[in-house]
């Protein structure tokens, strides 16, 4: 399953790259993140607890960056397991481009999910994925804006993130976001995640 998306970040591509590789910042922005560690220059491992409809699960996952051209792009290869809730695996190509007012993060992800996640209704899974992605990108953008200029900019960034999230909602995020966000702990986004 392939999904695509873009988000505006209120900082330079270099700062966006650094933030997307900062486990402490990512953990603070990801709801339910219990653990996130950078185990190598190109590898993260983590645990995220979440509830998707009637299924509560703790996802343990890993993500490895390949084809890295910092701070412009990379490919992320991810895998995560949530016990009986299911699993996710796949990859995502992420690019960061300088844009007016900051950086445009673009991703194209291809992922597979299985287990109970794959058996649940698409609307339920997509609703949870949208909620997690909106929450993550809102917090992430606000944190970057706060670094750059205080609370007023953070409020503007949060509003911009809400607008981006509404656009993503209209486009219809796929169930892959749950896996991406849980496994990767910005973003992937979405998911870098979800």
The pLDDT assigned to 98 comes to 96
The pLDDT assigned to 114 comes to 78
- pLDDT < 70 positions in the chain: 1-3, 117, 120-130, 133, 150-194
CATH for 97: 3.30.530.20
The pLDDT assigned to 2 comes to 67
Segment 184-194, tens digit of pLDDT: 433 333 333 33
DSSP letters, the chain, are: -EEEEEEEESS-HHHHHHHHT-HHHHHHHSTTEEEEEEEETTEEEEEEEEEETTEEEEEEEEEEEEEEETTTEEEEEEEEE-GGG-EEEEEEEEEEEEETTEEEEEEEEEEEEETHHHHS-HHHHHHHHHHHHHHHHHHHHHHHHHHHH-HHHHHHHHHHHHHHHHHHHHH---THHHHHHHHH---SS-----
In a domain, 78, yes or no: yes
What is the pTM for the complete model shown?
A: 0.73
In a domain, 193, yes or no: no
Domain count, the chain: 1
In a domain, 166, yes or no: yes
Residue 34: domain span: 2-184
């Amino acid at each position: 399953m392939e999904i695509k998306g873009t988000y505006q970040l209120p900082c330079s591509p270099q700062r966006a790259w650094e933030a997307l590789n900062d486990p402490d910042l990512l953990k603070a922005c990801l709801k339910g993140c219990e653990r996130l560690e950078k185990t190598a220059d190109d590898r993260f491992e983590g645990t995220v607890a979440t509830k998707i409809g009637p299924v509560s699960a703790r996802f343990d996952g890993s993500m490895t960056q390949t084809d890295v051209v910092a701070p412009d792009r990379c490919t992320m290869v991810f895998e995560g397991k949530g016990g009986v809730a299911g699993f996710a695996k796949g990859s995502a190509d992420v690019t960061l481009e300088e844009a007016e007012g900051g950086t445009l993060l673009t991703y194209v992800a291809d992922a597979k999910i299985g287990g109970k996640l794959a058996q649940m209704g698409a609307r339920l899974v997509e609703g949870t994925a949208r909620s997690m992605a909106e929450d993550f990108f809102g917090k992430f953008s606000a944190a970057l804006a706060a670094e750059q200029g205080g609370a007023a900019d953070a409020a503007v960034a949060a509003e911009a993130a809400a607008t981006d999230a509404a656009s993503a909602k209209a486009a219809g995020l796929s169930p892959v976001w749950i896996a991406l966000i849980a496994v990767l702990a910005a973003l992937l986004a979405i998911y870098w995640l979800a």
